[in-house]
Amino acid sequence: MDFLCVNCTSTAPSPTKHLSSRAHAVPSHRLNAPLQAPTSFKYRLRIRRGKRPLQFRVSNVASSAIEKRRSLGSGSESRLEPSNKPSAAMEQLDFERGVCVPFRKYTPENVRNKVLESRGAIVSLISRGVEIVWSLGLYWSALTYDCFVGRDEEVVPFRARQLRNLLCDLGPSFIKAGQVLANRPDIIREDYMNELCILQDDVPSFPNQVAFNIIEEELGRPLEAVFSKISSRTIAAASLGQVYRATLRDSGEEVAIKVQRPEIEPIIYRDLFLFRTLASFLNGISLQKLGCNAELIVDEFGEKLLEELDYTLEARNIEDFIVNFKGDPTVKIPRVYKQLCGPRVLVMEWIDGIRCTNPQAVKDAGIDVNGFLTVGVSAALRQLLEFGLFHGDPHPGNIFAMQDGRIAYVDFGNVAVLSQQNKQILIDAVVHAVNEDYVEMANDFTRLGFLAPGTDVSPIVPALESIWQNSVGKGLSDFNFRSVTGKFNQLVYNYPIRIPERFSLVIRSLLTQEGICFTLQPDFKFLEVAYPYVAKRLLTDPNPALRERLIQVLFKDGVFQWKRLENLIVLAKENVTKLSSNPAFQAKDIQGSRDLQVSRKLDLTDTIKDGARLFIFDEGIRRKLILALTEDSKLHIQELVDVYRLVEDQIDVPSVAVEVARDFPTVVRDLMLSWSESVLADR
């Protein structure tokens, strides 16, 4: 690759490290507050920052959270005004997600108004519709003919490639649709999914001069005024944009410039209108096969796609990731240059790392592969279960290994949001799997939106039991997500199960990262890292919901599971040890940080305090613990000793004593209130 100096025509050799292909999908800026549909009201918030209105859909419960959300920009002014009622499909999406959506660029009404705003647009729409119907009609006719002559199975590889090429020819909307279908086993069969995965990396680029003109229009300045040099070729190309490497003139910093494809917005709006029109004719089939309207699937897709067109939202995603991983020395998130960003251009820090598809380069750099993979899996699970904001496209070109053992993420377009409720249900599913409670696991699918409310889960329970027991029956060392996902794909193809967009991203994210792990270390065991992280969360997270789930894990049929507690502690210590041994912890700029020193140990202070509180105030828990200590007519002192030996090197006794002393007045007050309430109740 060559570099092109923007103020002359000379070129210079490029560094060896570079970015690879990127997928782009920018989500709305989020508020992670629960949404209750029956008590909801809606406003449109106009922010005098850009020309687009921001629309809030907020529950009464969540409305106070809006006041606490950080400002969208300095000096911004806002006013609230009523908005039109959204479609039933959008209402259902809001209810399923359980999150506030501060920004909504997509509604079916907006799309229709954009497309039908002029006679010329209507003529263009008709012409595009004819093109799509003709192209897809020919393809459908070929599939029908294959089925008629009985060769439908033998020509699958050819037809899958033909479909991929057809989507490329039909343009960016169809490329994005193909990328989505590559993660939807509820809609398309697995062999087609595998072929469509190629669309995530192999997309033609558009001319440099067009891209440079867009950059100048967005920045309002000539290229040479901002950059001293810029790569003469694209570093990566995707369905909606492409990436260049450049050097800032003022500071000499290396940056990545993401540029949107020209004149893409009218094409996207037109195609979305046609998609939804077609979906309205397929609602009956979709309800039968997936348990939901086809319009809802199009609305999910359209909402993400239109948000993706505004790179300022991706800049905000990056800022949120930086906040989430602040203080974590094992994760690198690139800095974003907000003053150089616009709806069609994004400028961020250049990440000079090693691609995860090159295991030899990783080893040659002296990076501990096993430690790096532990960091990567833990970072992914933190995004999913702790932050509820996760990177939806962690393919090998978007994840890098740093020389100091850190993991670096780039390309934050494809980001999804999980509500607090969704995160808790996912942890519930893990607990139900540990307890082998497959009926409740099936109910978790309903609560997450995979099944329509009221669906009879009894036929699904045996299938879930078979999938899970067969997958973990040989132990954690033989478990892998790809085999589980393959069996799950068959399940969703045979039952009326719909995979919500956000969870299709979760599945793809886990599969992709497991694939990276296998590339770097073929015998890597994903669950052997994932379980220790979950164990640590259950033992150390002060969230009351997680405390409740810890109790569910430790008590089975009312009997305290001593061995399970010991296993949780051992696994949690293993996670802490592996993470704290990462070389990034030795960096000079983080030495002496109290938070990082705490993270080198399994901090059980809050757990001990909460456990003591439960023992004092919860009569049911107190009875169960006493029974656990006196089970089989003997005192289980040895079990207590074994547990203490596991944690004695992790407990900072002075710190625990200080915390207990601080909490003592509150405990005494609550104890007296509890006693007085019981006395009054007896009378």
Residue 393 annotated as catalytic: yes
The lowest-confidence range among 83-97, 295-309, 586-600, 636-650 is 586-600
Residue 2 has pLDDT above 70, yes or no: no
Of the CA atoms within 13 Å of residue 146, those in its CB half-sphere come to 15
The highest-confidence range among 194-208, 214-228, 597-611, by mean pLDDT, is: 214-228
Tell me the three-class secondary structure of 576-618, residue by residue: HHHHHCCHHHHCHHHCCCHHHHHHCCCCCHHHHHHHHHHHHHC
CA nearest neighbour of 88 among 369, 338, 292: 292
Alpha-carbon distances of 639 from 606, 614, 623, 624, rounded to whole Å: 22, 20, 18, 15
Which SS3 state, helix, strand or coil, does residue 393 take? Answer: coil
Distant-in-sequence, close-in-space partners of 676: CB < 8 Å, separation ≥ 6 = none
Q: Dihedrals φ, ψ of 393, to 5°?
A: -140, 65
Contact 60, 37 (CB under 8 A): no
509-530 per-position pLDDT tens digit:
777 777 788 888 887 777 777 8
Question: pLDDT for 432-476, tens place per residue?
Answer: 877 778 888 888 888 888 887 888 888 888 888 877 776 655 555
| 511's tokens | 């599969």
Position 61 pLDDT exceeds 70: no
DSSP state of 477: G
Residue 5's pLDDT band (boundaries 50, 70, 90)? low
Summarize pLDDT for 165-216 with one digit per residue, the tens: 898 888 888 888 887 777 666 667 777 877 887 776 667 788 999 999 999 9
Distance CA 230, CA 207 (A): 14
Q: Minimal CA–CA distance to 298: which of 321, 267, 318, 275?
A: 275
Q: Is the confidence at residue 307, as pLDDT, over 50? A: yes
- Determine what percent of the chain falls in helix, strand and coil, rounding each to the nearest 5: 60, 10, 30
Give the separation between CA 527 and CA 533, rounded to whole angstroms: 9
pLDDT at 678 over 70: no
Structure tokens at 432: 């139900």
Can you tell me the distance from the alpha carbon of 560 to that of 570, in angstroms, rounded to the nearest whole number? 18
Q: CA 53 to CA 46: how far, in whole Å?
A: 5
Instruction: Answer whether 507's CB lies under 8 Å from 190's CB.
Output: no
Residue type (1 letter), 283? N
Catalytic choice (94, 393, 411, 541): 393
- Rounded to 5 degrees, what are φ and ψ at 74? -70, 135
Average confidence (pLDDT) over 222-239: 90
How does the average pLDDT of the chain come out, rounded? 74
**CA–CA separation, 238 vs 509, rounded Å?**
18
Q: Is 613 left (phi over 0), alpha (psi -120 to 50) or beta?
A: alpha
* Euclidean distance between CA atoms 561 and 569, whole angstroms: 13
In this predicted structure, the answer to whether residue 341 has a pLDDT above a threshold of 90 is yes
Whether 150 has a pLDDT exceeding 60, the answer reads yes
User: Residue 155: which pLDDT band, with cuts at 50, 70 and 90?
Assistant: confident
What is the SS3 string spanning 196-246?
HHHHHCCCCCCCHHHHHHHHHHHHCCCHHHHEEEEECCCCEECCCEEEEEE
Least confident residue range of 80-89, 101-110, 119-128, 309-318: 80-89
Angle between helices 156-170 and 172-181 (to 10 degrees): 140
For the chain, how far is it from start to end, CA to CA, in angstroms?
Answer: 85
- Which residues are CB-contacts of 270 (< 8 A; sequence separation ≥ 6)? 115, 121, 124, 125, 128
Q: Counting runs of H as helices and runs of E as strands, what totals does the chain give?
A: 28, 18
The C-alpha atoms of residue 537 and residue 546 are separated, in whole angstroms, by 8
Query: How far is residue 538's CA from residue 427's CA, in Å, rounded to a whole number?
Result: 9
Model pLDDT, residue 554: 79
Q: How would you write 530-588 as a 3-class SS string?
A: HHHHHHHHHHHCCCHHHHHHHHHHHEECCEECHHHHHHHHHHHHHHHHHHHCCHHHHCH
Q: Are strands 555-556 and 227-231 parallel, antiparallel or unpaired?
A: unpaired
User: Can you state the angle between helices 481-494 and 460-472, rounded to 10 degrees?
Assistant: 170
